[in-house]
Amino acid sequence: MIEEIGELQQLLLKKSKISYKRYFYDSLEFDKLTGLLGARGVGKTTFLLWYFKNSKLSFSKKLYFSADSININSLFDLAKEFAKSGGKLLIIDEIHKFGNFESELKKIYDFLDLQVIFSGSSALKIDNSKADLSRRAVIYEVEGMSFREFLELHYGYEFKSFDLEKIIENYTRESGVRNLRRRVADIFRKVAKELLLDTSIRKISITIKNLDEYLDKKVFEIETRDKKDIVGQVNGLAWTSVGGDVLKVEAIKIKGKGAMQITGH
């Protein structure tokens, strides 16, 4: 069976041509048991083949197959046979096609010295009621293609990914997205103006380093906690529906009448 799977593997590798790397290619960290979940067409199979190709292990120590292309009774028995022959990396695509995969993966994890990476439908449920995989497997959810990725793939442009967290954290604080849309629109207007005024500019990248140039002064700033103890002051935390902040709670000694008054209610 291992030889038959190896032949199918080689056919797939010859057909596989990867011209574009999605956002998650270089950010995943693999444990002994790692799963990729996502809808059909998000690129799970393409990534697994890319990872297989780029693994530094020799071909005899790694094995890839799709659960919907083989007919076996026990996934564990196959993994055991592969491990005995010196295998180190087992990649299983479309694992939801294999019945009772939860207990099979649990046995592989518990009894074999083998790293396993698997993919499955986003509807796949891994919970404590099914072989307790949730405490063993590291799971990543693969999202659909973003508009940035579409432009890169379709037109060949290259755009740096930008985290909206800094805009939300420093320029907008609300439960909705009205002000966020306005701030993003501000960026686009200034970029469009620059491109129109200077036709020699072909591309403008917005990064954390130059964000202030397009959104002016920060509206909100999160204070950092004091690292040194200060007499009469402690670090506190504030919670709101749109986030939190650090509060510096101060106490002062003044002359009074000996009464206590509570304010702030």
Tens of pLDDT, residue by residue over 74-125, are 899 999 999 999 999 999 999 988 878 888 999 999 999 999 999 988 666 6
Domain match, 202 and 98 both: no
- Mode of pairing for the β-strands spanning 33-38 and 62-66: unpaired
Same domain, 44 and 28: yes
Residues 24 and 122 in one domain: yes
Residues 94 and 200 both lie in one domain: no
Residues 79 and 129 in one domain: yes
Residue 53 domain flag: yes
132 and 183, same domain (yes or no): no
In a domain, 33, yes or no: yes
In a domain? residue 120: yes
Cβ atoms of residues 80 and 109 within 8 Å: no
Q: List Cα–Cα distances, 175 to 150, 179, 193, 241, 243, in angstroms.
A: 29, 10, 31, 7, 9
Q: Are residues 38 and 61 in the same domain?
A: yes
Domain count within the chain: 3
Interacting residues of 105 by C-beta distance below 8 A, sequence separation 6+: 33, 75, 95, 116, 118, 131, 133, 136, 137
Q: Is 6 in the same domain as 137?
A: yes
User: Residue 199: inside a domain, yes or no?
Assistant: yes
Q: Per residue in 139-163, pLDDT tens? A: 898 988 888 888 788 877 777 666 6
pLDDT at position 129: 43
What is the block-wise mean pLDDT of the chain (265 residues), using blocks of 10 residues? 76 79 87 91 91 91 88 89 93 87 91 94 60 79 85 76 67 66 82 84 78 72 66 78 72 79 69
- 248 lies in some domain: yes
Residue 185: domain span: 162-215
Is 85 inside any structural domain? yes
Q: Note whether 200 and 89 are same-domain residues.
A: no
Residue 150 covered by a domain: no
122 within a domain of the structure (yes/no) = yes
